Amino acid sequence: MSGSPCRKTRKAKKHKMNSTLKRIASLTSLCIKGPGGKIGILYCFIVLALNLVEIQLTLKMITWNKDFFSALEKYDAQAALWQIGVVGVITLASASQYLIATYIRQLVQIRWRTTLTQASLERWFSNKAYWHLNTDENSPLDNPDQRISEDCRIFVDRLTGKVLDLFTGLVGLTTYIALLWKLSAFPIAFTLFGTPVVIEHYLVWTAPIYVLISSGLTHWMGAPLMKLNVIQQHREADMRFALARIRESKEAVALENGEEAERNIIDRRYKRILENWRHLINREFILGIFTRPYFMTVLRIPLFLAFPAYLMGYVALGGLMQLGSAFTRLVTTLSWFIFSYKELAELSATANRLASFMQQAEAIGKEPSPIEWNRSADKQLHIRDLTVRDPAGENLLHLPELIVKSGEAVWIDGPSGIGKSTLLKTLSGIWPHCEGQVSLPPGKTLFLPQKAYLPLGSLAECIAYPDKPENPETIRELIKKVGLTCPRHEEQLRQATELGSDYRLSGGEQQRLMVARILATRPEWVFLDEATSSLDAEAEEQLYRLLRTSLPDTGFIVIAHREPKGLGNYRRIDLWNRKPLEIPNENLRVALA
């Protein structure tokens, strides 16, 4: 017989809590094991030691309350002035302790955030997870940039803040209970339904009951906040991405007068933010109905509860203030959960998001490749029985066999949408919807997509990408060879600053830059996907001739709608009018340029 719905709900909540705690522990372990992580642990112990000093200073302040108000009660001006000096010293020591502890804790945050960020980046870049995660339609992951930049920061900040406060609170809790037990060595007596009741040390028992009830109410009212915060962060990130995309594509938007359409896109995403935001503020309002009065009275309630001891003559005014101060510290320490609820919800949500991101990124590398990859011993590219499909599983093309020798050129021609670019993605190893055998030749391989990629960096760094630029004169000669002779290119090379959004490169200039990149990196194999489509036929032929002359031993696989004149002899793979899309061996004919 299945359990009751309430029992199932409790089990689900318990499982979720255990899963969250495991993820927090896993991420914390990752921080500690990283470079400088163990020094971070040492720093944490130093912060804890300083926090213990704070507890001692708090005890001094509790004693000061008694001495100061006793002096006032006795009209002892000299003693009162002396206590003013004492509180000044305690305040100075407390401020010094706080600033030093905060500074050291921030040093821990720098170390651990760096470790966590590096670990996230390593998983994101390994096995090209950044590509697979963004192209998998079934993946629940979104906005990985937020995971790496924001979640790493938030997790470390909340971890080092709240966890250290928790350990400090546990030590302080025993200290304040012992002190309050000593100070409240008197009973409170009253009659309940005709029965006399006497409670020894009643203040010690009142504090945890008061806070326990308050904590339960806080959790009951604020439980939905965690989910709402996660949704809000996702939607905020979606809007930031849309705005950044407009900035990157501003020229296309301006040319096509797309302002109204883009505004509608932004408005739709902002509307989703507002929709969840209203739910969030409503829940925060409901939580605030209890927590705000609690925050305002938590420093007063202890004094009210200690007041009967003063009226019954157990303590004088100074003793009452000391009791109230000790009770306040105990209640404040016990209220850690209430004061930290929002940050704890944020820590939990962040840990789940960050751990989920890392797990999915790691899983990419563990998935078996659908292609049987080998390293050819004869310096040739071998393709056998290769089938390429779309994400829905429909066949795009099938290549029974293709062998490309070193220094040879192959032109792949065919209608748009038939799978030519997907074939190159397959050969690069990033397309998962395929099967077959591929033997790659040794040496450096360079794949250039249809859209030229300009990384954040100087013009020299863009040309040498993914390598680092070495000889500036070599780079300067390359830009001249490919026809980038504008004075502003020379000025940019001289200044070596980032290109920035104000540095305009036309489509043709970007493709000339890609040719310069080929010449700079000097790969043994080059795969080009419409890499010269923005150039006129004459310029295209000149650049192909430059590539063939400069790299006579390099193999070229070229996808283009125009004949790659200038590459010399080449073989053409004709994909026109192929139904089904089967590429027969005899179709690989030689064309003389």
pLDDT for 317 beyond 50: yes
Average pLDDT over residues 521-528: 90
- Reduced 3-state DSSP string for 223-247: CCHHHHHHHHHHHHHHHHHHHHHHH
pLDDT in tens, 44-69: 899 989 988 988 888 888 888 888 88
Domain parsing of the chain, residue ranges = 19-183+343-367, 187-314, 371-574
Q: Which residue has the tokens 């004709």?
A: 574
Q: Closest by alpha carbon to 516, among 568, 553, 551?
A: 551
pLDDT class of 478 with cuts at 50, 70, 90: confident
Report the relative pairing of strands 525-529 and 445-448 from DSSP bridges. parallel
Please report, for residues 149, 383, 446, 534, the alpha-carbon distance to residue 423 in angstroms, rounded to integers and kept in the order given. Answer: 34, 11, 15, 22
pLDDT for 411 beyond 50: yes
CATH number of 371-574: 3.40.50.300
pLDDT in tens, 247-281: 777 767 787 778 888 888 888 899 999 999 898 88
Range with the largest mean pLDDT of 128-142, 199-213, 353-367: 353-367
For residues 171 and 349, the answer to whether their CB atoms sit within 8 Å is no
pLDDT for 347 beyond 50: yes
pLDDT class of 578 with cuts at 50, 70, 90: low
Query: Cα separation of 427 and 416, whole Å?
Result: 19
Model-level pTM greater than 0.85?
A: no
Return the exposure string of 468-483: e unless at least 16 CB atoms fall within 10 Å of the residue's CB, then b. ebeeeeebbebbebbb
Query: Cα separation of 583 and 591, whole Å?
Result: 17
